[in-house]
């Protein structure tokens, strides 16, 4: 059974091509973070290895279960992940990773019928690594499937894109995510709707937040800081930029997530300024947002949204993170005489 929620037409098409043996050997799964790309890729690895082809991916056979528990020797996920023991996070998927995949791809599957290589965050592949991977994408061995996952399709080489079958996972309607949370995670409706709205249509985030209260707790702390910095002096702003820069060094995705919270906060401010409060994301913060919006002009809000976007882009391109974040801190409108 496919575990990915929503995306029904895409799943029907994929299911059919796998059952008929007409699937591609290289796929590109495109969609925002936590929309379900990773779950789908694991499901695809199960589907081609499943011992019950009629029900593939059955989720019950030894192949499906070992793949789900990441113990299967033929299914490998390659990504940058987080740094170990406070060390720096890996910046990219490098040539060494691709060479190792090439080596493994040339061997027969060890315990299943297909070797599946999943590149999580394929946009982080170095150019050298991407060029090396092209060869395998052009002539994949018959029992190999390569799945690239990305939320930034534009950052991939066109030559890579042209060799993959593209599947796009769009954000799901909030109502669908809320329903799922009520039915399978026994949440009450009000909380479920709140999480669904905050998830921006990405069920992975909503389900994690439903099962782990620390996610909402952390969000609350981050939003408190974002809100306070709007009325703080320069010193606090620089100290914040410095903390975020250190986080970026250890955990790039974590730091990016915080910047996305900034973006959402400022987007909400803009919606309030423009009289469209019903569309804000941080509904539980609407009182504070209204107060902050009253202190700013629309032009200031728009200008700062552009600064956040530029900062995110700089971080994506491996620019000097601390400098980019300091520029952002300096550009924050509002009170700053205290610093």
Residues that bind Zn ion (CB under 5 A): 50, 58, 61, 64
Instruction: For residue 69, give both structure tokens.
Output: 């528990």
- Least Å distance, CB 40 to Zn ion, is 16
Q: Give the nearer residue to Zn ion in terms of CB position, either 20 or 86.
A: 20
Pick 57 or 245: Cβ nearer Zn ion: 57
Tell me the two tokens of residue 332: 């924050």
Shortest CB 61 distance to Zn ion, Å: 3
Question: Which residue, 50 or 181, is less far from Zn ion as judged by CB?
Answer: 50
- For residue 279, the minimal CB distance to Zn ion (Å) is 42
Tokens encoding 229: 């910095």
- The least CB distance from residue 54 to Zn ion, in Å, is 10
Report how far residue 217's alpha carbon sits from residue 304's, in angstroms, rounded to the nearest whole number. Answer: 26
Euclidean distance between CA atoms 79 and 77, whole angstroms: 7
Contacts of 132 (CB under 8 A, 6+ apart): 95, 98, 99, 102
Q: Which is nearer to Zn ion, 64 or 315 (CB)?
A: 64
In this complex, which beta carbon is closest to Zn ion, that of residue 50 or of residue 132?
50
Structure tokens that stand for 74 in this block: 């033929």
The whole-angstrom distance between residue 261's C-alpha and the CA centroid of its chain comes to 14
**Shortest separation between residue 52's beta carbon and Zn ion, angstroms:** 5
Q: What DSSP line would sit under 129-179, residue for residue?
A: HHHHHHHHHHS--TTEEEEEEES-GGGS-HHHHTTSEEEE-PPPPHHHHHH
The Cα 183–Cα 306 span in angstroms is: 39
Cβ at position 147, least distance to Zn ion in Å: 18
d(CA 194, CA 131): 44
Longest dimension (CA), the chain: 69
Q: Which is nearer to Zn ion, 50 or 200 (CB)?
A: 50
């Amino acid at each position: 059974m496919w575990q990915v929620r929503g995306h029904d037409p895409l799943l029907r098409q994929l299911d059919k091509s796998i059952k008929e043996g007409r699937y591609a050997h290289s796929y590109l799964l495109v969609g925002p973070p936590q929309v379900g790309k990773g779950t789908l890729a694991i499901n695809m690895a199960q589907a081609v290895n499943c011992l019950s082809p009629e029900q593939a991916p059955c989720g019950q056979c030894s192949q499906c279960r070992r793949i789900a528990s990441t113990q299967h020797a033929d299914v490998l996920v390659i990504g940058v992940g987080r740094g170990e023991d406070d060390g720096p996070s890996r910046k990219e998927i490098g040539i060494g990773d691709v060479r190792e995949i090439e080596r493994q791809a040339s061997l027969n599957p060890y315990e299943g019928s297909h070797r599946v290589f999943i590149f999580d965050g394929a946009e982080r592949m170095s150019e050298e690594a991407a060029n090396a991977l092209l060869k395998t994408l052009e002539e994949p061995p018959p029992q190999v499937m390569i799945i690239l996952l990305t939320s930034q399709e534009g950052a991939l080489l066109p030559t890579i894109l042209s060799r993959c079958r593209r599947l796009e996972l769009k954000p799901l309607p909030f109502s669908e995510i809320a329903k799922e949370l009520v039915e399978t995670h026994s949440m009450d409706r009000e909380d479920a709707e709140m999480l669904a709205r905050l998830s921006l249509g990405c069920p992975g985030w909503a389900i994690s937040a439903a099962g782990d209260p620390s996610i909402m707790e952390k969000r609350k702390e981050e939003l408190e800081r974002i809100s306070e910095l709007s009325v703080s002096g320069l010193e606090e702003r620089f100290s914040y930029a410095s903390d975020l820069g250190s986080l970026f060094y250890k955990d790039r995705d974590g730091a990016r997530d915080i910047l996305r919270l900034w973006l959402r906060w400022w987007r909400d401010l803009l919606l309030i300024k423009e009289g469209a409060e019903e569309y804000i994301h941080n509904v539980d913060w609407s009182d504070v947002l209204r107060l902050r919006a009253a202190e700013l002009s629309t032009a200031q809000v728009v200008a700062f949204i552009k600064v956040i976007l530029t900062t995110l882009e700089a971080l994506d391109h491996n620019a000097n993170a601390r400098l980019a974040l300091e520029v952002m801190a300096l550009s924050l409108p509002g009170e700053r005489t205290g610093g």
